[in-house]
Amino acid sequence: MFTGIVTDMGEILELEQRGDLRARIATAYDVGGVDIGASISCEGVCLTVVALGNTPKGWFDVEISAETVSKTNLAGWAVGKRLNLERALKVGDELGGHIVSGHVDGVAEVVGLRPEGDSLRVTFRAPEELAKFIAPKGSVALNGTSLTVNEVEGRDFGINFIPHTQKVTTWGGVKLGDKVNLEVDTMARYVARLREWA
């Protein structure tokens, strides 16, 4: 379980296709405090640490199944790509964002960029089957970042990125056409399911 508050920007050091895809990710985390088997959100995808090291800087390895690659933007990963990282929530941690599972629901696309004061307004297009779960002033997780929806029009929805968010996450480099991992708010899913039975 995560909060969608990014705590590090990692970088892909190596990618290797074995039976599954294996990635080595550089991190500023103290890897001495990370256990094998720990969960780390990488661009919003909950992945399991399978190896750790400190040369030349801290890194961890994850294995990614073909199923995960097919449901996320991980097919577009390349060496050198920066990633939003978050370690799993511990009991007693501050819940600064919203409850995020790290189970990506689908891939959205960046279809609009517009400066708004010092901020950047980004418009995303959700897959049709997920659009009903996105509401104005509701929460979404995009590439592992907890964000508030400003407006919704059909499948399109807008997010305002303040300068701080652009600086401490990968959102500072967002481009038109980018494919992003989308996890809808769990509460929205349950409300929709309850309405089906009402």
pLDDT in tens, 23-60: 999 999 999 999 999 999 999 999 999 999 998 889 99
Per-residue pLDDT of the chain (198 residues; tens, 9 = 90+): 899 999 999 999 999 998 899 999 999 999 999 999 999 999 999 999 999 999 888 999 999 999 999 999 999 999 999 999 999 987 777 777 788 999 999 999 999 999 999 999 999 999 999 999 999 999 999 999 999 999 999 999 999 999 999 999 999 999 999 999 999 987 777 777 777 776
CATH 2.40.30.20 given to domain 106-197? yes
Where, residue-wise, is CATH 2.40.30.20 in the chain?
Answer: 8-87, 106-197
Ramachandran category for residue 126: left, alpha or beta (phi over 0 → left; psi -120 to 50 → alpha)? beta
Per the CB < 8 A criterion, the answer to whether 64 and 23 are in contact is yes
Listed in sequence order, the residues at least 6 apart from 159 whose beta carbon sits closer than 8 Å to its beta carbon are 121, 122, 124, 140, 142, 147, 148, 149, 150
Q: Could you tell me which CATH number the domain at 8-87 has? A: 2.40.30.20
E strands within the chain? Answer: 8-17, 21-26, 39-42, 45-53, 59-64, 82-87, 106-116, 119-125, 139-142, 145-153, 156-161, 179-184
pLDDT of residue 99: 85
Mean pLDDT taken over the chain: 93
Token look-up 């080595």 returns 24
pTM (predicted TM-score): 0.93
